[in-house]
Structure 1
């Protein structure tokens, strides 16, 4: 360990010398520059002003000029000047305002790479006819042309919302589903050309951060001007003024100008066949310094896809089960006029009711003969959830920031299942009914401090704390297992109390040394302490003479309950962890590139008190050193060629509780034995990305690849009892697991008018899956068996090709997609698998001019071939349609929706690994017809 640390210190010293030497060489070739940046606002309202900024020397000679970038509530400018003492004049000019000048003396440069200038406050001209937002007439000139759907502006990919043809009443999710290169998952995750968007913002500000669906489902499409996709500096980097962390990949929703100030809202409700309903309300108040929004929605349609979109009812995108949802939320964001403080509050109340059913066909690979299984299950889960999150920042007299998060969940779940196992004949059957009740409270908060020294270095510190309590966490299960070969029956009525609580806190301190030429070397140290208490108490109610054979039932006295405690499957745990950590970082940031090398070193000390109630009452201790280096480089914008490259290494260890020499026999068909000899798992990840763009012909190409190698991954040694069908499991380390994928996306117009667009996506994935083979014996100690390795090679190829034609209010598209799965193995009794999922279809969206009737429809065939279960080899033709008509100047919209007209929609999934294959069917929402009414309004302030 000392050798590693000495080597790192020497390496960092050499790198620092290199950076300084590199700076000296650069100075010889090119004069060093620094950045001057500032903001421009209205002197009275403190609203942003998009001004022309001119930089001049003290004698008024011209140096440079630029128009301010406007972002959210900010108007920002930046100049690069020689890194030497000088006097400057900054002049701001804007239509409707008096010219404003400011003198600035550049001094004390040291190692600073930038300086923040005082704000420029501009006064409006007195003439009332001067309005910076006045409309400019074109004297009868008619301008026509094809609207550009997407383009690059510097380093930002911009989608023009008005270039898309959407049905009346569409929300933001409908717009994103149509954007070229965009993919929207059902859980709200957004991918642009294969790269996941970290989060959504609204006009540059966080909006229910991490909960994309709030904005996707409730923000009307007609309010959106454009969507910008770019790499955004983190809060930490914004505080410092330069990137000291990897940028977030963000999609910002820019509202139209008329919705940036005032009040707007919409309300929609509908009812349909099979008792389907939906209703939602959204209201937004917005001014120069505040935003308040409320939303509420309720529905049992369990589906966010809209007719007229491409479809994509793939297993990952089709919500399984029947779900009714009710939620309401509040968002408040405000700042003072001088922008010295800001706060952002989100609060959400949600009620969910989910009804799920599934059927599964499985095959467990084994050299002695594969083991087949079939099961059916159902569950009904009802939850209430409350979450509130607040972020605040104070910039003067010191920079302080903090967060506060509260999450509360209360719910219960009823479930049941039927399972069977067979080879040449039926081996066993089991029937289960269960009930679970739970309540969870989580509190967490953070406060941070940032300070920049005059010479350019940065000091940061922070405190973080959290508390979680889960109580009650109770479950009842009724289990009846029939062993057909021995004619025995096992009947169990179990009750489990698994309540827990934990706390943690962390203190962190960091210092960043700013070198010349925008290099940074940083180090931080932290101390963390956590205490986790868990109680896993299990009882066999079937051993009571008065057992009522009801799922939710407990005896009348505590003493009776204690008398049937399942000692072999109970435990109490208390884990105290103290961790000292340090991180060394080297970073380089430029206008469109970022490089980072990070070396976190952790030294946890763990103390576990463990009592299993069956004889093991002990205290275990463990200390170790964990290193997780990472290196990354990224370039954003429209430059062609390599634009991302990264490597990271992660280390994970089995918990101390998993190393205790105990077993678990709560399930009559499964015995689990802990393995005290488990080693840490080490995972290496590599990623690389290329980008090629041509704005003149709007051709966009992206290529990416990722690879992962896992050392000492966790496998499962399995013994199978052929007479009873009982499995005995023990985890153990195994090597040989790795995966690799390659993906491309391509888009280009096919005609000069750019009305016909070709879209293509391709990906190939390979998974090398290794695990232990199953042993067909049960008469020797576990450690005496020789477990062979089972290796399965999985290839998945995906190709999507689509063509879309759009002119005015007409959109026609056709597309197709194919997934090919190939699984092979050299093991005995393995039948190679070659399966295809493919779909093809088209869409139509059109507005009939003389009646202003919007028509949207899509039809798609989903087919599967090559699966071993016939329930998977199907053809499902899914057809949806929608008619919409707007009245009263588009304030009121009537809509008729037909979902899954042919009643063919289904949810089916397939997976293969080294242990076996699984084919699963899940229930999903039935077809329905729905009539809905939507009303929208907006009120603008008087000018």
Structure 2
């Protein structure tokens, strides 16, 4: 295990020094500068405005007058630094420092502010709009949200309507943000939280939220449905050349420490960002790519593929906790998102690099390393549905320690061969290593009597890697809008795991009383590779219409070799192969699809229709302990349609429908028993079919420039045929199932099966408006979600219906940099019903309120405090909690321009911090309590780096 305190102190010093030094270079190019001028109040184009460009090195000037649509183009601008000056009668003069580095510098839309006029001592002031709509992109104006001088990008976006950051997850407009761009370029791979913590708020000009299409779809113009919710941070032009960031270090009581920093080195097109941290105060930066090892070490019931409804994982958390997972499956998201449970020490270093090499090559890459140690103490209460019987209750106490190591490398190279051809290459590689020890004490009761009990000790040693590479060739023909693109994707992965299990199992309900012991060693090797290609051709058939033809071929091959050995006391080694717990399995999956589409773009609308015919073949081969093949062929028609309608410049509607298929994972298919928890067994199912899913979505966005308000509404629904749910056998007495699996009273066995009837519905609305009287912004959010999850319990079909109703109000200050506050309150009301067992119907409530205050007062003293209140009703006995988490600090600004700060802080002043989670699953409801960080004091020194070139 890691010597956390010693290593952490040395790494803290290393990061603190490393982030203090760097260098940078840059290349330039030349051509024109263009933009478009509008009125900030009504977004109308400004005709006849004077646009002047002053070369700062020799004072030469160029100028022109804006056109009827407000646009302007200043041609033949050589590389260099300029002052852009725009004047227009009745509007305030605008001056901006810019640097010409790209082939064509597009300044995009520039808003001019009407002059303020005084009439009879009545001042008419211009309201800066919080957001405007640009097609399906919502663009927030950072100047409309005042933040304190220490704020980063995360602090800024939290003030914006429809954006929520909680437990390491970033959500925008009701959907999870998967990517953050900076000036249109990838930033730290697919890690939104890491990206938002790397940039100070003061360098940000705009925040754009949109659904980013795949690279191939962006080139062809045809949407393939593979969109990712994305935030694009647009920096201020005068902040794109310089060095900025911060370094910090702090020591506290109970041997707590926290050190790290961020350094950003911007020089036009060339940008380097470095982020580092070392702490034992539960500050974590993990993306899904970093969690292979952690996932594997905690995946006892790995095949529970049904997932959970919207109620799953709700119920809030304390500081240092997180929302829990639901039923476990093959997807990393089913296990951990954002932060680990328990107490963690984290050591991390990340580097992001962006540059343009000459006129033809753009490069973007990032490397991220983290190492973490985790201590977990967890209490779990589960209530299981048993049709026509009294429910069973399972209680568990889990104590574990783990060390996790991750290396992640992402690269993106865009090579422009000539004006008609280009190649995009995007490799990604990650390595993980995890070691863990877990002690579990679990018991099952029914009618108030003990049925079974287990005490088991598990050790895991896991290592693995994931590699993928996407290559995209793009060709434009001389005929406008005629294109050809060919995509090639490859991938491979490997995971090796050694697991030792020592367990004592006790069954007092049996006659005679029965007890057994388990001493076994399991070796698991999982390997896979995939290859695929996508060919698309587009052809214009009119000025507004276009056709597309496409062909896709994908192939994957996954193998799992699982061998379990029992302890041989004579040889004193694990040498007896247990065939019931051993299996070698191979799964191959091939899909081919051919289809086409039509796209029509009108003045106010955009219509796209697509259809694919897909044939798929699933080949399953068991090679040990028995041999046998199971092959399946699937044929499907996959339609897709999208309509976008623009009511006005600031109001638009998007309607989307698509169909898709999903194959079962190799661990869901592998027919081998997993007894890592002897009371909760699981086994695969080689007879699984692919899932077929229908998804529909409607999204409406509107901005009111006069009121400076923004409104957004989302409605989505999905239904799945042959949904991979769970069949659970809950034994109230000794029984033998599936031919040779013995189950004692109080034990359970789950197996994935295909079922129809899965449905999911979500709706979300948000409304934001400034309140002039108190110089603040109000954001109102409301959501309603419903899920219907099918399952089988003891051979009887059950539908778990879960409904979530949420309402949130956020009041954020817009007063000044010296006074900054945010008040919020969220109410969650959950109703869960079950078709086969009404006794398990449940209702619970969670009320979470929070207040954050920043106040700079006498002689640059700074007072900060945040107070979180959590209230629960309807959970298991002993889990309903009502507590306050109160953090507070007092600081003094130091040095010129307040670059330095010394701060004394206290975490959890009242010592009440708690972490509680409610998970609603297909066969049970569970409440989970996890250990969290509690009260400590810390003294921290921070130095902000700021040096911008004019």
| TM-score, with length taken from structure 1 | 0.78
- In structure 1, which of residues 302, 308, 326 is the aligned counterpart of residue 347 of structure 2? 326
Q: Distance in 1 between matches of 2:692 and 2:222?
A: 33
Aligned residue in 2 for 1:350: 370
Give 1:469's aligned residue.
494
Match of 2:29 among 46, 49, 71: 46
| More deviation, 167-176/922-931 | 167-176
1:915 aligns to 2:923 (yes or no): yes
Query: 881, 885, 891: which one pairs with 2:888?
Result: 881
The 3-state SS of whatever aligns with 1:859 is: strand
Mean Cα displacement is larger for which, 281-290 or 428-437? Answer: 281-290
SS in structure 2 of the partner of residue 807 of structure 1: coil
Structure 1: distance between partners of 2:673 and 2:159:
53
Judge conservation of contact 1:243–1:589 (CA < 8 Å) in 2.
Answer: no
8 Å CA contact 2:243–2:946 kept in 1: the answer is: yes
CA deviation profile, 1:756-796 (whole Å, cap 9, x unmatched): 4332211122233433343xxxxxxxxxxxx3333443322
Distance in 1 between residues matched to 2:869 and 2:676, nearest whole Å: 45
Q: CA deviation at 1:462?
A: 3.0
Corresponding position of 1:720 = 731
What is the rounded CA distance, in whole Å, between the counterparts of 2:367 and 2:412 in structure 1? 12
| Residue equivalent to 1:771 | 791
Contiguous gaps of at least 5 residues in structure 1: 1-43, 53-65, 70-77, 79-90, 102-116, 136-140, 548-554, 556-560, 775-786
Q: 1:321, 1:923 within 8 Å by CA — same for their partners in 2? A: yes
The DSSP-based 3-state class of the residue aligned with 1:178 is coil
Instruction: Indicate conservation of the 8 Å contact 2:204/2:236, yes or no.
Output: yes
Cα pair 2:317 2:917 within 8 Å, conserved? no
Q: How many angstroms apart in 1 are the aligned matches of 2:255 and 2:422?
A: 54
Helix, strand or coil at the partner of 1:374: strand
Structure-2 residue corresponding to 1:370: 391
Q: Is the 8 A contact 1:764 1:795 kept in 2?
A: yes
The answer to whether structure 1 residue 699 and structure 2 residue 677 are counterparts is no
- Match of residue 819 from structure 1: 828
Corresponding residue for 1:185? Answer: 166
Give the alignment partner of residue 395 of structure 1, picking from 394, 397, 416.
416
CA RMSD, aligned part only?
Answer: 3.9
Q: Which moved more, 1:310-319 or 1:923-932?
A: 310-319
Q: Which one of 685, 689, 700 corresponds to residue 695 of structure 2?
A: 685
Contact 1:98 1:125 in 2 (8 A): no
Partner residue, 1:207: 187
Provide the C-alpha distance between the structure 2 equivalents of 1:773 and 1:696, rounded to a whole number of angstroms: 57
| Pairwise CA distance, 1:578 | 4.1
Equivalent runs, 1:769-918 vs 2, <5 Å: 769-774=789-794, 787-808=795-816, 809-825=818-834, 827=836, 830=839, 832-840=841-849, 842-848=851-857, 850-867=858-875, 869-888=876-895, 889-918=897-926
Partner of 2:153: 172
Equivalent-residue separation in structure 2 for 1:534 and 1:311 (angstroms): 36
Residue of 605, 613, 623 corresponding to 1:611: 623
Structure 2 SS opposite 1:263: strand
2:341 is the counterpart of 1:341: no
Q: Residue 743 of structure 1 is aligned with which of 764, 772, 787?
A: 764
1:105-116 maps to which residues of 2 (within 5 A)? none
Distance 1:50 1:67, change over 3 A: farther
8 Å CA contact 2:32–2:73 kept in 1: the answer is no
Instruction: Output the CA distance in 2 between the equivalents of 1:517 and 1:128.
Output: 39
Would the aligned equivalents of 1:404 and 1:444 in 2 still touch at CA under 8 Å?
Answer: yes
- Contact 2:54 2:84 (C-alpha < 8 Å) held by counterparts: no
* 3-state SS of 1:830 partner: helix
Report SS of the residue matched to 2:197: helix
Q: Counterpart of 2:608?
A: 596
**For 2:911 and 2:32, how far apart are their aligned partners in 1?**
55
CA contact (8 A) 1:639 1:691 kept: no
- 1:262 equivalent to 2:229? Answer no
CA deviation after TM superposition for structure 1 residue 597, in Å: 3.1
Larger Rg belongs to: 1
Of 534, 554, 559 in structure 2, the residue corresponding to residue 528 of structure 1 is 554
Q: Distance in 1 between matches of 2:81 and 2:199?
A: 38
Partner of 1:94: 53
Report what 1:32 is aligned to: none
Q: 1:34-84, CA deviations, whole angstroms, 9 ceiling, x for partnerless residues?
A: xxxxxxxxxx942686446xxxxxxxxxxxxx5699xxxxxxxx9xxxxxx
Given candidates 755, 774, 786, the residue that maps to 1:734 is: 755
Does structure 1 residue 298 correspond to structure 2 residue 278?
yes
Instruction: Provide the rounded CA distance (Å) in 2 between the counterparts of 1:205 and 1:874.
Output: 44
Aligned-residue offset at 1:875: 0.8
* Corresponding position: 1:537 with 2:520: no
Aligned twin of 1:935: 943
Assess if the C-alpha contact under 8 Å between 2:134 and 2:649 holds in 1: no
| Equivalent position of 1:519 in the other structure | 545
Of the candidates 90, 97, 103, which is equivalent to residue 133 of structure 1?
97
Using the alignment, how far apart are the partners of 1:119 and 1:162 within structure 2? 27
SS at 2:154's partner residue? helix
Q: Give me the whole-angstrom Cα distance separating, in 2, the residues matched to 1:798 and 1:892.
A: 41
Deviations 1:200-234, CA, capped at 9 Å, x for gaps: 11122211131122222232334334423345565
Matched residue, 1:36: none
SS at match of 2:216: helix
SS at the partner of 1:630? strand
8 Å Cα contact 1:165-1:845 kept in structure 2: no
The answer as to 2:458 corresponding to 1:434 is yes
